[in-house]
Amino acid sequence: MPFEKQLDELRNRKKKALMMGGEKKVAKHHAEGKYTARERIDELLDSGSFSEVGMLNHSDMPGMAEKSPADSKVGGYGTVNGRPVGIISADFTVLGATSSRIASRKERDIRETAHRHGFPIIYLGEAGGARMPDIMGSAGLASYGGGGKNTFIESMSRVRTTPLVSAVLGKCYGAPTWKACLSDFVVMVKGTAMGVSGPRIVSIALGENITDEELGGWKLHATVTGMADRIAENEDECFQIIKDYLSYMPCHNEELPPFAPVPDGSGEEMSGILDLLPEKRNRTYDMNRILERVVDKNSLFPIKPLFGKTVITSLARIEGHVTGIVANQPRFNSGAMDTDGIEKVMSFLCLCDSFNIPLIFFEDIPGFLVGREAERKRVGAHVMNFMNALALVTVPKITIIVRKAYGMAYWNMCGSGSGADSIVAWPTAEMSFVDPAIAANVVFGAIPAQSPEEQEERIRKMAEGTDPYGAAGLHFIHEVIDPQETRTHIIRVLRQAQSLSKTKGISEHRLANWPTKF
C-alpha cells in the first residue's frame, strides 16, 4: 500500500494517545472505582457519537512530548440524547491532568466552536491546577494567558449563550474549580473535592494540615457554599443527572427549551391539593408535595436542594413545557428566607432568564430571616441584589400566593409591582406588612395581655384585612383562584406568553453575565 510507513506512524501515534498514562496508571485509576477520561466520555455521550479533536496534542516543554498524550485533556464533540454537545474530559493518568498551554488552547477552541454553533459544553473534571514547572518564570506565567490581548479573560469569564456543565469526579484544584465557578450546573460525586488550592499547597503556604474533604469536599459545597447544584452517589448517577439536566435546557439562548410528552396522570391529583395545606396557619408542610401535583408527573428537577433550604428552586415541566419553580419551603425556618436562600434564588433567576425558562413563584413567606447573624451576612444588600436581579428578568413570570406573603419578601417573591405577568392568590392567602402575631406585639407590646384569650383577640384584630380580597378588589393582584385550578391557570398564562407574544417567550438575556457564585 502506498505511504505505508506514514500510515504506520499515524497509527502508532494514535495508539499511544489512546493508552493515556499507561497500563499501570489506568489500572490504579480503575482500582479506585473510577472510569478513565475516555471511558467517561463513552458513558455520557450517545454510543459512537464522539468525534475527538487534539488527540495528537502534547506538551510544548522540551522532552515532555512522549509523557503527555493528548496533553492530559481529551476533548471533542458528540451527542447526548441526539443533541450536540462539546466535551472536555480531564485525564488524571497524564500528569494529574494539570493545565497547560496546549490543553488550554484545545479547550478554548472547543468552547469557541460550541458558542459559535450554539450547543452546550460539558467539562468532566478530575485535575490539579496549573502545571509546574511549565508556568514558572515570567515567560511561563505570561504565556499561560494564551498570548492574545483577551485570551485569558475569555477563558476565565463568560456571557451565557450556551449551557455549561461541570462534573467533579475526583480531586479538582485550580483550573477545574474555575470551570465550576463559571458553570450553570455543577454535579459532585460523593468523596470528591474541589478548591482553589489543594491540601499540599495549603500546608506548605500556611502550615495548615487539612484534608481534601475539610478543604472542599462535596458536603461543604452542597450545604455551605452552594457551589454544587446536585450530588451523585457515583459516576454513573452523575452522568444520568447531567443527561436529565440537559433535557430541560435549550441548546442555546435563542431557542426555547425542548418540549416533552406529558406523562399519563399529570394533573389528576389537583382536586385534592388543599389536603396538603394545613388549616392551622402556624403548621408547617412540605411545599414539594404541592408542586408535585401542579407540574407534570415526575418532572421536578431540584437545583441546590441541600443549600438554602428555606426556598425551593427546581426545573419542571407543565403540559410538556419547561418551567422554573421558585417556592418558599415552610419546613425550614417557617419559610423565612435567609441569605443562602437569596443567593440560591438569584443564581436560579440567572439560569432561567439566560435560557428562556419561564418562572413560577409559589409564595408562602413570613419575611426574610433577620437578626444579628443575618445583618453580619449583609442581608439588606442581599435583598436589594435579589430585587435588582428580579428587575432584569424578562422571561414570563407567574406568581401564586399560597399562604403567607409578608413585608419586603412579598415583592422579592414577585409580588405586585415586581414584573409578574400574572399574580393570583389562593383563598388561603394572608397578605400584610408583618405577621399578625408580630404586629400585635408591636402595637400592644407596652400593655401586657391579661389572658391568652385577649392576646388571641389582639392577633385577630391585626389579621383583619389580610385575606387576598382587598388586593384583588383594587386590582393589585389579578384574581383569587380555587387551588384546584392552579395548573390550568399556569398553562393558560404560559400559552399566552410563549405562543401569542411578540418574543414567543425568548428573553432579552439581561442576566447573561450576572455572577452566580457568591
The DSSP bridge pattern shows strands 83-90 and 121-127 to be parallel
Helices 379-392 and 339-354 pack at an angle, to 10 degrees, of: 20
pLDDT band at 201; cut points 50, 70, 90:
low
Give the pLDDT band of residue 56 (cuts 50, 70, 90).
very high
Q: What is the DSSP string of 103-123?
A: HHHHHHHHHHHHHHHT--EEE
pLDDT (tens digit per residue) in 69-128: 999 999 999 999 999 999 999 999 998 888 889 999 999 999 999 999 999 999 999 988
Strand 73-80 relative to strand 430-432: parallel, antiparallel, unpaired? unpaired
Summarize pLDDT for 320-364 with one digit per residue, the tens. Answer: 999 999 999 999 988 999 999 999 999 999 999 999 999 999 999
Share of the chain above pLDDT 70, in %: 92
Asked if residue 440 has pLDDT above 60, the reply is no
How high is the pLDDT of residue 443?
Answer: 54
Q: Answer for the pair 468, 431: CB distance below 8 angstroms, yes or no.
A: yes
Give the pLDDT score at 518. 62
> Which residue is listed with cell 441541600?
306
Angle in degrees, CA 181, 68, 200, rounded to 5: 50
Q: Is the pLDDT at 146 greater than 70, yes or no?
A: yes
The confidence score (pLDDT) of residue 454 equals 62
**pTM of the full structure:** 0.93
Average pLDDT over residues 150-162: 87
Confidence band, pLDDT 50/70/90 cuts, at residue 450:
low
Shortest CA distance to 81 belongs to which of 317, 242, 235?
Answer: 242
Name the β-bridge partners of 130.
Answer: 99
Average pLDDT over residues 24-47: 94
- Name all domains of the chain by residue range, CATH numbers in brackets: 4-248 (3.90.226.10), 270-429+467-500 (3.90.226.10), 433-466 (no CATH)
**Residue 500 per-residue DSSP state:** I
pLDDT at 254: 95
Distance CA 186, CA 437 (A): 41
Quick one: DSSP state of residue 138? Answer: H
Residue range 190-202: mean pLDDT, rounded: 81
- For residue 249, the model assigns a pLDDT of 98
Q: Residue 347 CA to chain centroid, in angstroms?
A: 7
The three cell numbers locating residue 147? 498570548
Q: Residue 234 pLDDT > 90, yes or no?
A: yes
pLDDT-derived band of residue 457, with 50, 70 and 90 as boundaries? low
For residues 503 and 259, which has the higher predicted lDDT (pLDDT)?
259
- pLDDT category of residue 2 using cuts at 50, 70 and 90: confident
Q: How far is CA 402 from CA 284, 364, 439, 506, in A?
A: 13, 6, 21, 28
**What pLDDT shows up at residue 374?**
82
User: Considering only 7-16, 26-35, 211-220, 412-421, which range has the smallest mean pLDDT?
Assistant: 211-220
Banded model confidence at residue 211, pLDDT cuts 50, 70, 90? confident
pLDDT band at 459 (very low <50, low <70, confident <90, very high): low
Mean pLDDT for all residues in the chain? 90
